[in-house]
Amino acid sequence: MDKVYSMLGLATKAGKVVSGEFATDKSVKSATAWLVIVSEDASDNTKKMFYNMCKFYEVPLYFYGTKDELGHAIGKAMRSSLAITDENFAKSVTKHLGKEAEL
């Protein structure tokens, strides 16, 4: 299991992750999201919606992993999107992602 998933697991245990389309959407719009991750196998509609939303609200967005992997990392069923609501966890995960944000 790579570092990104380990960090997501830790952040989840600390209560700093919201997941699922509705919760992620709400987190971005209420300015509590520091980082949004959308699975690479999410629908084009979902990707486009989060891309536009994150661009508007200036939240870093990454397309990473699969729905299964993201869900498993946070101990839930498949998840196509999640937001990290803690600045330090977001920075740490970003470092491990090791690539530029989509935005």
What are the tens digits of pLDDT across the range 19-38?
999 999 999 999 999 999 99
Question: In this structure, are strands 81-84 and 35-38 parallel, antiparallel, or unpaired?
Answer: antiparallel
What are the tens digits of pLDDT across the range 35-72?
999 999 999 999 999 999 999 999 999 999 999 999 99
Q: Which CATH superfamily is domain 3-97 in?
A: Ribosomal protein L30/S12 (3.30.1330.30)
A 10 A CB-CB count for 80 gives 22
Residue 99's pLDDT is 76
